Amino acid sequence: MIYYEPIPICEHDALIGSNFNEKFAKEMNDYYAPYQNKSRTVNIGKETWEYAVSDSIKNAKWCGAGNNVVDVVTPRLDIDVKGISCNNLQSITSEASILQNLQSSQDNFYVQLKKGDYEGLNEMFIEPFIRKVSKTNNLHVLCAIRNKEDGQVWYCLLKVIQRHNPNLIDEMVLRGTRNVDIPLIDPKYGRTYLQLGKRRLELRLNMTEMRRYCVNSHSITLGNSLKEFM
């Protein structure tokens, strides 16, 4: 199975460079400037975060187009970039998409769910994700997190590892009628689950515990609002 492990801040320099934060802040502030100079709402698309991360790491290359788990390739690691937000540093973040499966409506997805056939869901979502991850080089997730309370932007790194869990199927739990919890991260750090309506694996972080793994990068607020497209 796949598992997400937070990376201590002291290990960031070796992975993304000692000047990443300075460069990342500059890239994003340069992007905000045309909006802010005219007091307009800042619009941030998914690729904006990816471009900024790519341009902030030496010899990195953006490759986020298409159905690819990797957005940025660097000499030391592949990076999946996620742009998310939180209400404050004690809240749960918005969702980040891990993998979406849009197969035919005839693939028995809902039949399997109603029967509690989580083995079938494992085959449709977890196993394809494992195959994608196995083709990457030292995959990490970089989450850029906007704090809605004060406009500060933070970031953290999570390493994506493969870990054997013989009880994975038994540990899947239906939550309400919309989500199936799938334990791909320590629950104190966040939550991974299958969002049934979107047919999508998603990740949310618990900022209360993740705060110590996050770096404060810059502020986005200059008296104007922000609109994000994830």
Q: pLDDT tens for residues 170-187?
A: 999 988 878 899 999 999
What is the rounded distance in angstroms from the CA atom of residue 139 to the CA atom of residue 79? 6
pLDDT at res. 229? 41
pLDDT at res. 230? 40
What is the average per-residue pLDDT within 148-157?
95
> Mean pLDDT of all residues in the chain?
89
What is the rounded distance in angstroms from the CA atom of residue 132 to the CA atom of residue 186? 22
What are the contacts of 171-174 at 24+ separation with CB within 8 A? 172/118, 172/121, 172/122, 174/116
Contact 48, 109 (CB under 8 A): no
Give the pLDDT band of residue 34 (cuts 50, 70, 90).
Answer: very high
What is the rounded distance in angstroms from the CA atom of residue 76 to the CA atom of residue 146? 26
pLDDT at res. 224? 42
pLDDT at res. 223? 43
Q: What is the largest CA-CA distance in the chain?
A: 56
Predicted TM-score (pTM) of the model is 0.91
41 pLDDT above the threshold of 50: yes
102 pLDDT above the threshold of 50: yes
What is the rounded distance in angstroms from the CA atom of residue 163 to the CA atom of residue 118? 19
pLDDT at res. 213? 98
More confident residue, 39 or 12: 12
What is the average per-residue pLDDT within 147-152?
93
The DSSP letter of residue 108 is -
What is the rounded distance in angstroms from the CA atom of residue 190 to the CA atom of residue 69? 20
- The three-state secondary structure class of 198 is coil
- The CA-based angle 69-75-77, given to 5 degrees, is 40
> How do residues 109-130 score in pLDDT, each as one tens digit?
767 676 777 888 888 888 888 9
Percentage of residues in the chain having pLDDT higher than 70: 90
What is the average per-residue pLDDT within 29-37?
92
Sign of CA dihedral 24, 223, 85, 99: negative
Contact 81, 53 (CB under 8 A): yes
Contact 69, 82 (CB under 8 A): no
Count H helices, E strands: the chain?
A: 8, 14
